[in-house]
Amino acid sequence: MQNTQILTNFALLKTEAMQTNPDLKKDLSFEDFKTEVLNDYKLAVTSRECSLLGRREVLTGKAKFGIFGDGKEVPQLALAKAFKDGDFRSGYYRDQTFMMAIGELNIQQFFAGLYGHPDLAHDPMSAGRQMGGHFATHSLDESGNWKDLTKQKNSSSDISPTAGQMPRLLGLAQASKIYRQVKGIDTTNFSEKGNEVAWGTIGNASTSEGLFFETINAAGVLQAPMVMSVWDDEYGISVHARHQTTKENISEILKGFQRDEDNKGFEIFRVNGWDYPALVETYQNAGKIAREEHVPVLIHVNELTQPQGHSTSGSHERYKDENRLAWEAEYDCNVKLREWMIANGIATDEELKAIESAIKKDVREGKKAAWIAFTQPLKQEQQELLALLENVANSSANKVFITKLKNDLAEIKEPIRKDIISTARKALRYVVSESTTEKTQLVNWINAYFEKIQPKYSSHLYSESPKSALTIKEVKPTYDESSEEVDARLVLRDNFDAIFGKYPETLVFGEDAGHIGDVNQGLEGMQAKYGELRVSDVGIREATILGQGIGMALRGLRPIAEIQYLDYILYALQIMSDDLATIQYRTSGRQKAPLIVRTRGHRLEGIWHSGSQMGGIINLVRGIHVLVPRNMTKAAGFYNTLLESDEPALIVECLNGYRLKEKMPSNIGEFKTPLGVVETIREGSDITLVSYGSTLRIIEQAAKELQEVGIDAEIIDIQSLLPFDLSHDIVKSVAKTNRLMVIDEDVPGGASAYILNEILNTQNAYKHLDSKPQTLAAQQHRPAYGTDGDYFSKPSVEDVFEAVYNVMHEANPSNFPKLR
Ligand SMILES: Cc1ncc(C[n+]2csc(CCOP(=O)(O)OP(=O)(O)O)c2C)c(N)n1
Ligand SMILES: [Mg+2]
């Protein structure tokens, strides 16, 4: 391309940019243009240098693993130019250049991330919780309050599972549509008229994942403003595109998504990753289309390379032939940018060499500073313990052994915390039977160390802000003379009505949630009242329903994502587990997605409509509250509680409860069910029966029948599996009855094992037991169809009766003779 033509292109681009920023100069002089390109080149070289040195740090043992953005620098510069304040990125581990270009990652921070520095001030991406190459910006301040996201460039926090960034991208984009089109939402901090674009990045091989295709289709349907970049280097680790993608060409096979005069769809661009001016132009166009028209765009960036191979775990010489390696050297995007600059008179070879060597020095210095900052506190802690151990040794009969431990620790030049604390804990064993002040000092030191250091690795699994769901107080439902017994779904519906009226930023979406008001009509009439954007039908796509919710919640909306049946949550469970459950944790509290996942389950029909797999769920979603209300009033109260809080939760309504009668509370929309609080629904003295959800109705019937033979059972409804009985009320019941049975419709060893562990280990109920603690669960197989299928698969009234009776028989055979 000729100099003048490039200049014209840039000038045009600048003129467009000017429309949103009148302060920019109208014409771009050649000097300005040069400065801008040179600045880009500096970023590209800095980023590359970080990758090269980063790999060395791993290979010399200073960091554990490295995955870098080398070979993908230039397209990311183009992306950064089109990226505006308020926009969001949802991408993957190659994007360091972009993060540097938007000013959110410097050299020292890059290396702090590589070392795993557990301090946000040094590693703002994750405080050392994620491996390097997983990027994020801070949406929240240190108290957990929203920052003004419209005044900063935003990146949702990355996750490692390939294509896992896709579902959330959909929601990040959809939020702009909501902010642009739904009236009455306070957009402060979140949006300027819905002008924000959500920018996705993904590797070519990762487009093979179902999540990619599901998201692309959904974005086309929703017409959400997202720009999706595919960084195509022909490989996914060692596996070539011929094994990954039909026709080895993702934009070719996605052609059917291209919009035309008659149909809405995508705009699709293809561009080579080493062609700087073409990239800049493409990204400007893409940004404009998405921003102004709210049309999704796909940019297939071809001919990218991996100068150092996939990661530090291997070398690409094992699977790329000489020709490919030679081609990669020639088409390295930084090399091509350099050639282009020289060819167009932007800089001379000499000038660029001077820039490159200055940058090399900067990167070395930044790396050194990061290493010193990382190791300094550790060395200090080492010295502190060494001094203490010296004293402990001198006052101990086991001086030789403690001195040996001390000397071993002293020899470690660059200690990690494991070296330090494990030495202290081992030393303590040598003075266990001594009673010196030095021993007490050591004990105190170890305890204080854990108190100080453990939170660096364990904080923020749940919200630590004043809006934590655990701080929301109970408000009981009230009833007056006019309160009628109604179908329970109406309690939910009227409560949703109150919610949508009270909080304009709430919205619900799911399969059949819109027009018919969900399969059980808990949302009947809501779409007509609140519009199709707030109460929506969506495609059958559970993973992206979840992701849509995450993305919108990350941008300040309060989505309720509906999964039609609990059984089908398995499609979304990966995203719940990998993304939603870890958001606060992996950002050390700097991002949150207070998404409510609504679903229905427990005891209905057959293998895929019984909704019983709670054990699997609770163990995969720590970080999300899991609530199992036994009726719709309790469920409605949970929605009300959660909307006052800033945390994500899963609410499982009882599938067979919608048509049962419940009294309509007079304080609809106001009453709140507290989290982590159990409820005793029947008092008794002989045994404590613990359960949740629909199974409780079976247990209540069994308890009546047990009473007839003289067994007085107490029944406790757990209500909230995560968090679990925060004030330890169950053990108080066991202290009274001295017997315990956990009843659950999940498989043996499923949720019942979790519940038993909480009661026996956490609450120490074993002390009070006169009989073996029992669990009564379903069969190992999935429930068979029909009423008989249910009877022979899940605990029945007779099963509960006999199991409880047997406990009493064992305790008192003369009063309770053997049944069978
Ligand atoms: C779900 C999942 N499967 C496998 C992996 C391991 N893995 C990490 S990166 C990668 C290859 C990705 O290739 P591509 O999408 O082309 O990105 P590139 O690294 O080439 O930029 C694989 C298989 C993973 N992280 N997640
Ligand atoms: Mg690839």
pLDDT (0 to 100) of residue 28: 75
On the CB side of 122, how many CA atoms lie within 13 Å of its CA? 25
pLDDT (0 to 100) of residue 13: 45
* Active-site residue, selected from the candidate residues 122, 294, 300, 609: 609
- Our answer on whether the CB atom of 240 is closer than 6 Å to any ligand 1 atom is no
Q: Sign of the CA dihedral 461, 464, 470, 475? A: negative
How far, in Å, is the centroid of ligand 1 from the Cα of 549? 25
Burial class of residue 142 in the structure, from the number of CB atoms within 10 Å of its CB (0-12 exposed, 13-18 middle, 19+ buried): exposed
Concatenate the DSSP letters of all residues of 469-501 into one string. GGGPPPB-----TT--EEEHHHHHHHHHHHHHH
- Our answer on whether the CB atom of 161 is closer than 6 Å to any ligand 1 atom is yes
**What does pTM read for this prediction?**
0.96
How far, in Å, is the centroid of ligand 1 from the Cα of 212? 13
Question: d(Cα 394, Cα 438) in Å, to the nearest integer?
Answer: 9
Test site for ligand 1: of 206, 249, 328, 573, most ligand atoms within 8 A of the Cβ: 206
Instruction: Determine how many CB atoms are found less than 10 A away from the CB of residue 13.
Output: 20
**Ligand 1 atom nearest residue 231's Cα:** 21
Which amino acid residue places its CA nearest to atom 11 of ligand 1?
Answer: 236
Burial class of residue 329 in the structure, from the number of CB atoms within 10 Å of its CB (0-12 exposed, 13-18 middle, 19+ buried): exposed
How far, in Å, is the centroid of ligand 1 from the Cα of 233? 12
pLDDT (0 to 100) of residue 10: 55
- Our answer on whether the CB atom of 310 is closer than 6 Å to any ligand 1 atom is yes
Instruction: Determine how many CB atoms are found less than 10 A away from the CB of residue 319.
Output: 15
Among 495, 501, 594, 504, which residue's Cα sits nearest to residue 549?
594
pLDDT (0 to 100) of residue 26: 52
H or E element at residue 392 = helix 349-394
Enumerate residues 6+ apart whose C-beta is below 8 A from 567. Answer: 601, 608, 609, 610, 611, 613
Strand partners, 228: 200, 298
What single letter denotes the amino acid at residue 297? Answer: V
Among 155, 29, 144, which residue's Cα sits nearest to residue 90?
155
pLDDT, tens only, 308-352: 999 998 899 999 999 999 999 999 999 999 999 999 999 999 999
Is 316 catalytic? The answer is no
Question: d(Cα 556, Cα 252) in Å, to the nearest integer?
Answer: 36
DSSP single-letter state for residue 674: P
Which amino acid residue places its CA nearest to atom 25 of ligand 1?
Answer: 161
Which amino acid residue places its CA nearest to atom 20 of ligand 1?
Answer: 236
- Our answer on whether the CB atom of 68 is closer than 6 Å to any ligand 1 atom is no
pLDDT (0 to 100) of residue 611: 75
Q: Which residues of the chain have pLDDT under 50?
A: 1-5, 7-8, 11-25
Parallel/antiparallel/unpaired status of strands 297-302 and 485-487: unpaired
CA-to-CA separations, 574 to 135, 156, 159, 547, 580, in angstroms, rounded: 20, 18, 12, 11, 9
Query: Tokens representing 52?
Result: 């090269």
Residue whose structure tokens are 């801070």? 138
pLDDT (0 to 100) of residue 21: 36
Q: Is 733 helix (H, G, I), strand (E, B) or coil?
A: helix
Enumerate residues 6+ apart whose C-beta is below 8 A from 363. Answer: 46, 49, 50, 53, 107
Which amino acid residue places its CA nearest to atom 26 of ligand 1?
Answer: 161
pLDDT (0 to 100) of residue 4: 44
Which amino acid residue places its CA nearest to atom 17 of ligand 1?
Answer: 203
**Ligand 1 atom nearest residue 72's Cα:** 21
How far, in Å, is the centroid of ligand 2 from the Cα of 408? 45
Question: d(Cα 364, Cα 346) in Å, to the nearest integer?
Answer: 27
Question: d(Cα 17, Cα 284) in Å, to the nearest integer?
Answer: 9
Enumerate residues 6+ apart whose C-beta is below 8 A from 199. Answer: 79, 83, 87, 88, 89, 90, 91, 226, 227, 228, 229
How far, in Å, is the centroid of ligand 2 from the Cα of 54? 20
Residue whose structure tokens are 């000097």? 31
Parallel/antiparallel/unpaired status of strands 661-663 and 485-487: antiparallel
Asked whether the beta carbons of 726 and 677 are under 8 A apart, the reply is: yes
CA-to-CA separations, 219 to 152, 168, 249, 527, 534, in angstroms, rounded: 24, 11, 20, 21, 17
CA-to-CA separations, 676 to 471, 630, 722, in angstroms, rounded: 11, 14, 7
pLDDT (0 to 100) of residue 29: 87
- Our answer on whether the CB atom of 316 is closer than 6 Å to any ligand 1 atom is no
Question: d(Cα 82, Cα 231) in Å, to the nearest integer?
Answer: 17
Among 57, 152, 133, which residue's Cα sits nearest to residue 310?
133
How far, in Å, is the centroid of ligand 2 from the Cα of 470? 44
Concatenate the DSSP letters of all residues of 289-316 into one string. IIIII---EEEEEES---TT-S-TT--G
Test site for ligand 1: of 237, 239, 303, 578, most ligand atoms within 8 A of the Cβ: 237
Enumerate residues 6+ apart whose C-beta is below 8 A from 768. Answer: 731, 734, 735, 738
On the CB side of 279, how many CA atoms lie within 13 Å of its CA? 28
Q: Which ligand sits nearest to residue 207's alpha carbon?
A: 1
